Amino acid sequence: MRQAVKTFQKVMSQFPVNKSESEWKAILSPAQFAILREKATERPGTGPYLHTKDVGIYHCAGCDAPLYKSSTKFDSHCGWPSFYEALPDALKIYEDTSHGMVRTEMVCAKCGGHLGHIFKGEGYENPTDERHCVNSISLKFKKE
């Protein structure tokens, strides 16, 4: 796992918003740093945006880049906020082979902050049949 984090940190230097580890630690809470910079996951059912129904835009908690419209959020009962579609060019997608499985990881296209994973073909009734499973703590919400 430590090798995956080192590889992730090397990839981070390729994003438009590029800060050192100490700079990120100065602006993020310890929990945000663990998720956005070290690929941790918040406990299911604990995130502040899990049940948010307000109209607005979800932004990256690390760099404030807009990521999701609230109109693409849906209740998947998975324990994390779920969206079926990101804003254009908001995400970068990678194959994640950690934890003995293959998943689709999504990161913020501006700062490379780890957001969560994308799952396809689960049968949710939405236009893309995708579930973008996002850590609440990696987001900040701005009402419209």
Segment holding 21, helix H or strand E: helix 21-27
10 Å CB burial of residue 10 (0-12, 13-18, 19+) is: exposed
What's the chain's Rg over C-alpha atoms? 14
Give 68's DSSP letter.
E
Nearest CA to 67 among 115, 31, 32? 115
Q: Is 133 a catalytic residue?
A: yes
Catalytic residue among 63, 108, 111, 133: 133
Separation CA 120–CA 75 (nearest Å): 15
Active site residues: 133
